[in-house]
Amino acid sequence: MSAADALLFPGFAQRRVTTSGAEICCVIGGSGPPLLLLHGYPQTHAMWHKIATRLAERFTVVCSDLRGYGDSSKPDGGERSANYSKRAMAADQVEVMRSLGYDRFKLAGHDRGGRVAHRLVLDHASAVEHVAVLDISPTRTMYGQTGKDFATAYYHWFFLIQPFDLPERLIGSDPVYYLRKKTGGWGSAQGIFDPRAFAEYERCFAKPETIHATCEDYRAAASIDLEHDDADVAAGRKVTCPLLVLWGDKGVVHRCFDPVNDWRAVAVDVRGRALPSGHYLAEEAPEETLAELLAFFSN
């Protein structure tokens, strides 16, 4: 157990699981039905620390680093960044849960983790009982409805997909500066972050291999992931398990999209609402986020 995880996740244990394509770092704690929590960009599993121990009073909680992030491995992106497709990243997490003894589980993902969760419930529908996505509309919808406000606020979507090594070189010149500027936007103030958690974001993101891997994540999102999404639409394939969408009323998603209706276009059972927060719900509005997740996952 790392010193940071021991402070942020008291009573949890650390695990490292070898999957078909990566090595995934996670922490696990609590008892009860299994619940997998997936983080977003440019963070790590530490983003869940304000609510994970509370969720662990009712669930066996697994907080996992996505491949390319945190202390998980950073495999080569491969042709067309396919190794960072949400399909590959979702498969990692299914294998993690199976290795821990869970063939079926509840699932929540914030930001990029929400996109991985979306792909996971499509590719592995029998594995997920309920899914929650935090502060996102579907990737295909967001690209398809891009306008000036969204492109200005989420410029990184279009910056990170540029060919290697333009974004890597520019971010790598001062990664901590970039990280602080990026997390200080999207309707959330820098002061919402626990310094212990933010130190983990800085430690992990400053590594050149993390910068490259996270660019590959976004390159995949703008290419192979959209092909997978288009194939689902063509086949009429939708998310069939209950889906909860939460978003921040100070954030870009609230301003530029219609999350409940956006998700109803790709899922059959959707509910959700805005919370008093910017983008980082679990850190800025932990009590409200916890209450919504407990009510949803306890059904």
> Which pLDDT does position 299 carry in this prediction?
81
Tokens of 3: 């010193």
State the Cα–Cα distance between residues 188 and 278, nearest whole angstrom. Answer: 5
Set 71, 111, 135, 232: catalytic member? 111
92 is catalytic: no
Average pLDDT over residues 89-100: 98
What proportion of the chain, given as a percentage, has pLDDT over 90?
96
Q: Which residues contact 190 (CB under 8 A, 6 or more apart)?
A: 180, 183, 184
The owner of tokens 């991985």 is 116
DSSP designation for 6: H
Q: What is the pLDDT of residues 251-297, one digit of tens each?
A: 999 999 999 999 999 999 999 999 999 999 999 999 999 999 999 99
Q: What is the pLDDT of residues 147-175, one digit of tens each?
A: 999 999 999 999 999 999 999 999 999 99
State the Cα–Cα distance between residues 242 and 61, nearest whole angstrom. Answer: 19
Tokens of 214: 């996270």
> Which pLDDT does position 66 carry in this prediction?
98
State the Cα–Cα distance between residues 71 and 171, nearest whole angstrom. Answer: 19
- On whether the CB atoms of residues 50 and 90 are closer than 8 A, the answer is no
212 is catalytic: no
Closest listed residue to residue 95, CA positions, set 26, 19, 16, 15? 19
Output the 3-class SS for 54-97: HHCCCCEEEEECCCCCCCCCCCCCCHHHHHHCHHHHHHHHHHHH
Strand partners, 62: 28, 36
State the Cα–Cα distance between residues 31 and 176, nearest whole angstrom. Answer: 37
**3-class DSSP state of 246:** strand
> Which pLDDT does position 58 carry in this prediction?
98
pLDDT bin (cut points 50, 70, 90) of residue 186 is: low
CB atoms within 10 A of CB 251: 24
